[in-house]
Amino acid sequence: MLDLLPNPNTAARQVELAVSRLDSLSTLPCVGVQLYSRLLQGHFSPSALGDVIEADPALAARCLSLVCRRGVSLSGTGFSLRRALDELPSHQVRDELLSVRAFQPFELDYPDAGGGSTFRRDLLLHSLAVACCAREIAGLVSPRADSELVYYAGLLHDIGKLALREIMPKSFSRIFEQAESETESIRTVEQRNLGLDHTIVGKHLAQQWQLPNAVVLAAWLHHGDTVTIFKDMPEAWIAAVVQLADSVARQSNVGVSGSFDMPEAPEPIADCLGIDIEQIRQIGENLAGAVAEKSRVLDLNSPNALVDYCRAAHTAAGQLAAKHTELSIENRRLQSSASHLDFTAEFLLGTSSAAGTANIAQEFAVRWQRFYQTGTVCLYVAPSGEPEAIEAVVVEKLSQTRLVSVDVADNVPVIPQVIANKFEVVNACDHIDWLLEQVDADFDPKRTRLVPLLCDGRAVGAIAFELHYPGDAELFSEKFRLSATIAGSVLGMALSRQKQQEFAERFVRLISRPKIAGDLPAEHQVRPGPIDGAVESLTALAEMAAGAAHELNNPLAVVSGRAQLLAEAEEDVEKREILKQICENAREASAIIEDLMSFAEPPGPRVAAADVKKMLDEAVQLTHRKTSIKDLEIRIEVGDGVGPVFVDSAQIVSAIANIISNAAESYGGQAGPITITVSADEAGQTIKLAIQDRGCGMDAATLKKAAQPFFSAREAGRKRGMGLAYAARFVQLNKGTLNITSEPGIGTTATIHLPQLRT
């Protein structure tokens, strides 16, 4: 605080220095009571304090400063401080409001101007009056102004006075008394004693706090010749509005401004702004009621405001201290969780998709020892069946690792029953002593624990580790569970991949075996039908596909689910994107598996009499939906003697539609033509359905693979190549045959023979 009425020659500099150190204004105790009572009501919402903030200059200045400092846009019309505060984190708004202290008269050993806190209350009422009046006037200005921003310009136009009262209370009391006794403007007395006045202080303070330019202009120019200034500086219209509002508020005797000279005449300013003076008088008549309504929320006439404020501050301090303790505990918990998330994320991101189980086991065992700071670690994977031997990874001091082969004991499960299907931390020597004896490592029986590596609820392996402090087993049980389960999921996927590779090798051997005698030349046709013995091959392919699909589906679901959980918890943007890619690729793989399952295990055909012409019409409609070609040119010719066929019509329609789609695509986006001819054999046992196109055709190598699953002659990434595979599968299931002949540049003909209904 500054001394009483300093020397005018040095006062201005002292005041400017004091103002530069001022970070906020103080408010009335009754306002503090309202503030704390709202802050302590359950979940804090900045907008819930809107009515208190917009009625008090100290709180409004602090919040406007926060909004501007945080870069919330004030451009455009319809500015709302409540909405702007809701865009900010609630804890930032709360901290700003809690930094505003309440003025307490007992801190001073001299009377306040006007007695006690009366001057502050009366000046607050004056500021409210100017704010309410300015908002009404703004509604009359053409073009219509942003009334809420004008309201805050009016509410904060006298922040210079409040700042002077804050930094030099004794001197300001004397200035107030001189202005009252000499019937002068307080601005004149300030200039005489301080070498500056509250408009300059207000301008500097508004700029220092980064308040909106409208507030800066209002605080600076509201006592100037705004009519003249407005002509050369159009943006100063807001200062003219506030000056007019100040004049109306003083004439209406709402609050005390500290000036005791005659108010500015409203007529010149109203005329400058293009407002009828009768409208101004009407605003003045309603002003007292508007201010009373606005200030009611602050409870300005409370007789026990100071006592209530101290009680509310004490309660708030207690609750905030308890909340701080709670948040500190939660912060420590989150830090622990974050470190475990880093551990598992580094393991996942550091694991190659081509890595074998031994490499994965070694990588995880080393990380486990390092992260949990354990002694010797032994990790082993349990393959399905009843193996005679298993491989185990042993990690000793300084992360030294070795891979050992261990014989499985007779009549002893590789995974102890107690952890085979659920997670528990058990004493390792009670369950796998046969294994620990063979790995040639120095385990302390009292300190060694065993946990399962679970995948989809089943242990695919286990990890034994020596704890330096046995009590850590209970303390870190949940962390052990999370880390071990993630490792189990990855190892389970690796085991499934090994099985899938075995299936793939057998798959290739089947589809690559030599043609049997009687096959037609490969350059002319593909016959996945009974006449060339391919039924056996197709059935074997289906069995391989079913086995591979079943083995892949579960680990893919686990990978997708775990990756999604990690992505949701990951804050690092790059790591989150990698995890999302894992999730998306797992889903794409699952979709491929679904195609494989559909091919391998289609529903059994429900055969019944079916009209051939009706099936063809349905197949054409289905083709239109599957392709993007408009006005597809398809000609259908059904010969005499063609009767109903005995098939599952839905499966045959799907098969025909797939063949027509391939025929349409052979034209490279053109409309056709595609010719479908149907005829019956002389014996009346089968019908022949030929689908012919004049498209690009296929060479011998392409024709040979045309009906194989996942084969496509188109570039990678376009389709999965299941169309003709499905067609051949459905035709075969319905006791028919599919023959395909093709020549490059001439076209392709697909011929289907189906059993005809016997009469």
Q: Is 268 exposed, middle or buried (0-12, 13-18, 19+ CB in 10 A)?
A: middle
Q: pLDDT, tens digit, for every residue of 382-418? A: 877 778 889 999 998 777 889 999 998 888 889 999 9
Q: pLDDT, tens digit, for every residue of 327-355? A: 776 666 666 666 767 777 788 777 776 77
Structure-token pair, residue 101: 């202290």
Bridge pairing between strands 674-680 and 634-638: parallel
Can you say whether residue 692 is alpha, beta or left, with left for phi > 0 and alpha for psi between -120 and 50 degrees?
Answer: beta
As a whole number, mean pLDDT of residues 646-661 equals 87
- Split at pLDDT 50, 70, 90, the class of 631 is confident
Q: pLDDT, tens digit, for every residue of 155-198? A: 999 999 999 988 888 888 899 999 999 999 999 999 999 999 99
- Split at pLDDT 50, 70, 90, the class of 727 is confident
Instruction: Give whole-number Cα distances, 85 to 48, 66, 128, 214, in Å.
Output: 10, 9, 21, 19
* Cβ-proximal residues to 394 (8 Å cutoff; 6+ apart), any chain: 376, 377, 378, 401, 402, 403, 404, 439, 440, 441
Q: pLDDT, tens digit, for every residue of 125-136? A: 999 999 999 999
The SS3 assignment for 609 reads strand
Within 10 angstroms of residue 307's Cβ, the number of other Cβ atoms is 12
Cα 156 from Cα 214, distance rounded (Å): 10
- Split at pLDDT 50, 70, 90, the class of 419 is very high
> How crowded is the C-beta side of 691, counted as CA atoms within 13 Å?
25
Sign of CA dihedral 620, 622, 626, 631: positive
Question: Angle at which helices 118-138 and 237-251 pack, to 10 degrees?
Answer: 120
Tell me which CATH homologous superfamily contains domain 608-755: Histidine kinase-like ATPase, C-terminal domain (3.30.565.10)
Structure-token pair, residue 247: 């004049």
* Cβ-proximal residues to 645 (8 Å cutoff; 6+ apart), any chain: 609, 610, 612, 615, 652, 687, 754, 755, 756, 757
Cα 373 from Cα 339, distance rounded (Å): 14
The SS3 assignment for 186 reads helix
Closest by Cα among 402, 382, 522, 524 to 452? 382
Cα 120 from Cα 162, distance rounded (Å): 8
R_g of the chain, CA atoms, integer Å: 43
81 vs 565, residue with greater confidence? 81
Q: How is 490-505 classified by DSSP, letter by letter?
A: HHHHHHHHHHHHHHHH
Cα 351 from Cα 725, distance rounded (Å): 35
Closest by Cα among 546, 545, 520 to 709? 545
Range 350-496 has CATH code 3.30.450.40? yes
The SS3 assignment for 300 reads coil
For 692, list phi and psi in degrees, rounded to 5.
Answer: -120, 135
Q: pLDDT, tens digit, for every residue of 439-460? A: 888 899 889 999 999 988 889 9
Cross-sheet strand order for the sheet of 426-427: 401-407, 389-395, 377-381, 458-466, 448-455, 426-427
As a whole number, mean pLDDT of residues 667-686 equals 81
Distance of CA 101 to the CA centre of its chain: 38
Q: Which DSSP helix (H) or strand (E) runs through 192?
A: helix 186-194
Residues in the chain: 759
Cα 248 from Cα 283, distance rounded (Å): 8
The SS3 assignment for 458 reads strand
* pLDDT exceeds cutoff 90 at 281: yes
Q: Which amino acid is at 647?
A: V
Residues 599, 601, 603: CA angle, nearest 5 degrees = 105
Cα 517 from Cα 495, distance rounded (Å): 40
Cα 343 from Cα 614, distance rounded (Å): 62
Structure-token pair, residue 443: 């385990």
Q: Which residues does residue 452 pair with via DSSP β-bridges, in sequence order?
A: 462
* pLDDT exceeds cutoff 60 at 109: no
Cα 284 from Cα 511, distance rounded (Å): 96
pLDDT at 470: 73
38 vs 135, residue with greater confidence? 135
pLDDT at 300: 83
Closest by Cα among 216, 157, 212 to 187? 157
Question: Angle at which helices 277-295 and 118-138 pack, to 10 degrees?
Answer: 130
Structure-token pair, residue 601: 């295990």
pLDDT at 338: 66
Structure-token pair, residue 649: 């019509």
Cα 291 from Cα 272, distance rounded (Å): 26
Range 8-303 has CATH code 1.10.3210.10? yes
Structure-token pair, residue 480: 């052990």
Cα 362 from Cα 371, distance rounded (Å): 14
The SS3 assignment for 423 reads coil
Residue indicated by tokens 């004439």: 251
Q: Is 484 exposed, middle or buried (0-12, 13-18, 19+ CB in 10 A)?
A: buried
Query: Is the Cβ–Cβ distance between 205 and 163 less than 8 Å?
Result: yes
Within 10 angstroms of residue 443's Cβ, the number of other Cβ atoms is 21
Structure-token pair, residue 617: 């019409």
Cα 166 from Cα 108, distance rounded (Å): 12
Closest by Cα among 687, 666, 557, 662 to 609? 687
- Split at pLDDT 50, 70, 90, the class of 117 is low
- Split at pLDDT 50, 70, 90, the class of 510 is low
